[in-house]
Amino acid sequence: MKDDSATLGQALRHWRDRASPKDLGLFVGSVRRAPGLRREELAQLAGLSVDYVVRLERGRATSPSPQVLASLARALRLSEPERDHLYLLAGQASPTAGHVTPHIPPSVQRLLDQLRNTPLSVHDAAWNLISWNPLWAALIGDPSAWRGRERNIAWRHFAGLPSRVTHTPEQQARFETALVSDLRSSAARYPQDSALRSLITDLRHASDRFDELWDSHAVGFHTTDSKTVHHPDLGPVMVDCDTLTVPGNDLRIVACSAPPNSPAAEQFELLGSIGTQVMT
């Protein structure tokens, strides 16, 4: 019987060979020696190093973290049963009821892929950033180097981490109230999630504003609202933001848009060519 690390590598290779580069929005050249994704492509999609993917497939990396497994499951478009099997092979407990899950169903990911002309970010029920498209990174700033709490939207806002986004006082009040109310609802839905409880405790210690809103039991909802993004090359970009919730998965999809023929719409057209590089 094969050990679990060898079986994990075999499963990863099978899922990588099954994946369609074209469906994942990757460039497909005229010559490919094998079907499916190359290791380099899987590493790019999952935000991992190529060397680490190689070690996983060869059974030399035996303890991938839940965060790594979640990234691999998203990149490979695994179904929930496949995702749970991946966690099992890696010796990790699969996401269960009572815990926030970062899983993006393949059908939802296909929808997101079709909206590539709209800056999009995807967050779990604790407002951890789990996925984004290139336009969102170009607009907001590349988050690939963010780690741990840096990827949590509530923590970034209330702890005062650097951001290109500014709000009017009215916009900020609505945003903060909705965010705290959302975390309160998530805490009630996921009472066993220790990471979510720890986040809320740390936010209450780090931010008087968060603590005040939490104690006041303020209720708010994410509705269409505007904000200003201060892009280093394009200048102030006025965008409308909508937060969509995926039923059954508690994912939050934040979509940024601009009215047709507006200055922001023209700036959006430039974002794709600028990308995440800062012009000099």
Which of 89, 114, 131 is the C-terminal boundary of a domain?
A: 89
- Asked if 151 and 254 sit in the same domain, the reply is yes
Full residue range of the structural domain in which residue 82 is found: 4-89
In contact, 250 and 124? CB cutoff 8 Å: yes
Confidence category of residue 53, pLDDT binned at 50, 70, 90: very high
pLDDT at 1 over 50: no
Give the model's pLDDT for residue 101.
Answer: 85
Q: Which residue has the higher pLDDT, 142 or 92?
A: 142
Region 84-107 average pLDDT: 82
Give the model's pLDDT for residue 31.
Answer: 64
Whether residue 101 lies inside any domain: the answer is no
In contact, 162 and 214? CB cutoff 8 Å: no
Confidence category of residue 27, pLDDT binned at 50, 70, 90: low
- Asked if 128 and 217 sit in the same domain, the reply is yes
Highest mean pLDDT among 20-24, 28-32, 163-167, 220-224 belongs to 163-167
CA-closest candidate to residue 7, choices 59, 52, 54 = 59
In contact, 49 and 68? CB cutoff 8 Å: no
CATH code of the domain containing 239: 3.30.450.180
CA distances to 12, 13, 191, 231, 235 from 164, in Å: 37, 39, 33, 7, 10
Query: How far is Cα 127 from Cα 196, in angstroms, rounded to an integer?
Result: 10
CATH code of the domain containing 21: 1.10.260.40
- In degrees rounded to 5, what are phi and psi of residue 256? -100, 135
Region 210-228 average pLDDT: 89
Predicted confidence (pLDDT) per residue in 151-199, tens digit? 999 999 999 999 999 999 999 999 999 999 999 999 988 888 899 999 9
CA-closest candidate to residue 243, choices 143, 121, 101, 114 = 121
pLDDT at 268 over 70: yes
Query: How far is Cα 42 from Cα 24, in angstroms, rounded to an integer?
Result: 10
Give the model's pLDDT for residue 279.
Answer: 40
- Asked if 162 and 36 sit in the same domain, the reply is no
- Asked if 74 and 154 sit in the same domain, the reply is no
Q: Give SS3 for 42.
A: helix
- Asked if 54 and 20 sit in the same domain, the reply is yes
CA distances to 112, 139, 160, 239, 269 from 231, in Å: 23, 7, 18, 12, 14
Q: Which residue has the higher pLDDT, 101 or 173?
A: 173
- Asked if 257 and 216 sit in the same domain, the reply is yes
Give the model's pLDDT for residue 97.
Answer: 61
Give the model's pLDDT for residue 2.
Answer: 47
Percent of the chain exceeding pLDDT 90 equals 43
Residue 246's CB: how many other CB atoms inside 10 A?
15
Residue 237 identity = V
DSSP 8-state code for residue 85: H
Give the model's pLDDT for residue 249.
Answer: 78
Predicted confidence (pLDDT) per residue in 115-139, tens digit? 888 999 999 999 999 989 989 999 9
pLDDT at 25 over 80: no
Confidence category of residue 218, pLDDT binned at 50, 70, 90: confident
- Asked if 223 and 152 sit in the same domain, the reply is yes
Give the model's pLDDT for residue 280.
Answer: 32
pTM for this structure? 0.74
Give the model's pLDDT for residue 261.
Answer: 87
Predicted confidence (pLDDT) per residue in 56-66, tens digit? 998 887 788 88
CA distances to 5, 69, 114, 138, 254 from 155, in Å: 35, 23, 30, 21, 17
- Asked if 16 and 122 sit in the same domain, the reply is no
Q: What's the sign of the alpha-carbon dihedral 249, 252, 256, 257?
A: positive
